[in-house]
Each structure stands twice: as structure tokens, then as C-alpha cells.
Amino acid sequence: MTVIGVVGAGVMGVGVAQNLAQTGHDVVLVDTNEEILAAARATIWRNARMSRLMGGPALDPDDVLSRITTAVGAEAVAKADVVIENVTENWDVKRSVYETMDAVCGPDTIFIVNTSAIPITKVAAVTGRPDKVVGVHFMNPVPAKPACELIPGFHTTAETVERTRDLLTAMGKKAIDVKDACGFVSNRVLMLTVNEAAFLVHEGVATAESVDEVFRSCFGHPMGPLETADLIGVDTILYSVEVLYEHYADSKYRPCPLLKQMTDAGLHGRKSGRGFYTYAN
């Protein structure tokens, strides 16, 4: 029986764990403490219960949760056949997680890097299995999105790519092949858009509501860039832009000061109850 480890029980990790469980996979979901894991289980149960109302399949939330085991510490994925990592876009944190996983997991375990911008080859280099490290950039909310980017690193083998593609197909995802470059395709474009939209608010050119209304009404987008920032997480947006800025050394990726201030103030979007907009509990 294939066991999938999911490291990180934040917004993305919760979505990945739910998507795996509702498609029949056994999951070990891990994070740093029991409080985070309890909140993750409650979120998965609620999201599964609401799935049909939100346009997804009808799900039994208890059945979905029955396939998910939770545990504290990355060591808990030692017996997993595949591990999907979803921790924050902070290189020091990611590096530590991969060093731990590499030490405890079997030599055939595949590591899937779910990252917004960090190059896959950089992650693979801190492991002893660079041939079994591959990137998958899932979109949020994971269970509702039909596609994702599939990114092999420099040393990733064709076998690793195909095993990962098979898993994504089983999850109901279309894998779009993308080469390993910081930000890949989606976030090379999206993060610039969100960052510039934040600059418009920062400079007083328009309110967040007006910026998003232009994108919805003029371009037909279902969500504006700042609504999207709140959904992804304002802090995640900032970290991703910072990674792009550091990697490319290009001023076009200079992070908007407003994103920094909001992150420091805890205004992280939907997950904190307030970002560019305020959300009910």
C-alpha cells in the first residue's frame, strides 16, 4: 500500500492532504505541533463537508479524514513512498526539513517540492537523492484546481518524473511540464502582477477594491490580484517575490513595502482573517 507523506499543514499542505485522501490515498500529515494539526483536521473536515456546495464532488468528511494520520515532526514520514513538502517559502526552513527527511526516509522515497519560486535543483542539492527530487507547483485551493506545474531538477530522472505524473493523474491533476527556473511560469508572471497591484495601493493610485474590479470587469478575471494575494497568503506572496528578487538580481522584482508591512503586522489574508480585505471568522 502506497503511503504519501505531506509535510506542512498550512493552506497548501491541508489542500494537498485532502486531495490525496479524497482520491483514495493514505496520508501522513505532519507539522511542528499538535495545535496546527488539530486545526488542519478541522479545516479538512469542513472543506470536505462543503465540497459539493463549492462545485466539487460530494464527499463524506469522516471518510476523508479516516485516510489521514497526523504526527509531529518530519521524522514521521520515514516510511512514506512519496513525500510532498509544503513548508513556508523560507530557504533555511526548507533546507532543514529536507536534511531531516533525507536522513530518515528510504533511498527510493521520492521528494516532491511544492514551492512557489525556489529552484528544484537547489533543493535537490541538499539531499543525497537529487535524482528523486522533483517539483510540483500545486495551485490553491488544491482540491479544486485541475492542473499544476511539473518541474524536474537538473538530476531528476525520467522514472521519477513519470512516477510523479502518475500520482498527479490519480489525484485528478493535469501535469504541465515546465523547466526548472526560479518562479517557473506561473509565479514569474503572477508575483509581478500582485506586487505591482500592491504598489498601486501603496502609492494611493487606487484602493484594493478598485484594482481588483478593473481585473474582474475589464479583463474578465474571476478574482483580482489582491484577492488572489489574500487567498494565497500575503506573507507567501512576499517571500516568493523576495526569492525572485534575490535569484534574478533584477529590480523589477523589488518587493512592495506594503507587502512587508502587512506581513509584519500579521495581515496575511484569509488565513489570518485580514489582508487587503477583512474576512469573517
Does the annotation place 9 within a ligand binding site?
Answer: yes
Does the annotation place 10 within a ligand binding site?
Answer: yes
- Judgement on whether residues 219 and 157 belong to the same structural domain of the protein: no
Q: Looking at 114, 187, 195, 240, which residue is catalytic?
A: 187
236, part of any domain: yes
Count up the domains in the chain and report the number.
2
User: Quick one: which H or E segment has residue 25?
Assistant: none
**203 part of the active site:** no
* The pLDDT of residue 281 is above 70: no
At residue 180, the pLDDT reads 98
- Judgement on whether residues 125 and 250 belong to the same structural domain of the protein: no
Q: Looking at 96, 149, 155, 247, which residue is catalytic?
A: 149
Distance from the first to the final alpha carbon of the chain:
38
Q: What percent of the chain has pLDDT over 90?
A: 95
Looking at every residue in the chain, the average pLDDT score rounds to 96
Residue 280's pLDDT band (cuts 50, 70, 90): confident
70, part of any domain: yes
Does the annotation place 139 within a ligand binding site?
Answer: no
Q: What percent of the chain has pLDDT over 70?
A: 99
**155 part of the active site:** no
**159 part of the active site:** no
Q: Looking at 51, 137, 195, 227, which residue is catalytic?
A: 137
pLDDT in tens, 204-229: 999 999 999 999 999 999 999 999 99
C-beta neighbour count of 161 within 10 angstroms? 17
- Judgement on whether residues 169 and 197 belong to the same structural domain of the protein: no
| CATH code of the domain containing 28 | 3.40.50.720
- Domain residues for 95? 3-177
* The pLDDT of residue 1 is above 70: no
- Judgement on whether residues 23 and 141 belong to the same structural domain of the protein: yes
* The pLDDT of residue 141 is above 80: yes
Q: Looking at 114, 116, 195, 240, which residue is catalytic?
A: 116
**247 part of the active site:** no
At residue 167, the pLDDT reads 98
Is 224 within 8 Å of 277 (Cβ atoms)?
no
280, part of any domain: no
Q: Which long-range contacts (CB under 8 A, 24 or more apart) does 93-100 make?
A: 94/118, 94/123, 95/126, 97/7, 98/123, 98/126, 98/127, 99/126, 99/127, 100/73, 100/74, 100/75
At residue 89, the pLDDT reads 87
- Judgement on whether residues 209 and 165 belong to the same structural domain of the protein: no
At residue 2, the pLDDT reads 82
- Judgement on whether residues 81 and 214 belong to the same structural domain of the protein: no
Structure-block grid coordinates of residue 225: 490580484
pLDDT in tens, 47-84: 999 999 888 999 999 999 999 999 999 999 999 999 99
Task: Select from 195, 189, 194, 182 the least CA-distant residue to 151.
Answer: 182
Q: What distance in Å separates the CA atoms of residue 240 and residue 137, rounded to the nearest whole number? A: 13
Does the annotation place 96 within a ligand binding site?
Answer: no
Task: Select from 149, 151, 148, 153 the least CA-distant residue to 127.
Answer: 153
Task: Select from 32, 29, 31, 165 the least CA-distant residue to 45.
Answer: 29
Does the annotation place 128 within a ligand binding site?
Answer: no
Mean pLDDT score, 92-103: 97
- Judgement on whether residues 171 and 255 belong to the same structural domain of the protein: no
Does the annotation place 12 within a ligand binding site?
Answer: yes
> At CA 175, angle to CA 170 and CA 179, rounded to 5?
145
- Tell me the residue ranges of DSSP E strands in 117-223: 133-137, 147-152, 174-177
281, part of any domain: no
Is 177 within 8 Å of 206 (Cβ atoms)?
no
Residue 49: CB partners within 8 Å, gap ≥ 6? 59, 61
At residue 55, the pLDDT reads 86
- Judgement on whether residues 198 and 168 belong to the same structural domain of the protein: no
Question: Model's pTM, two decimal places?
Answer: 0.90
Does the annotation place 7 within a ligand binding site?
Answer: no
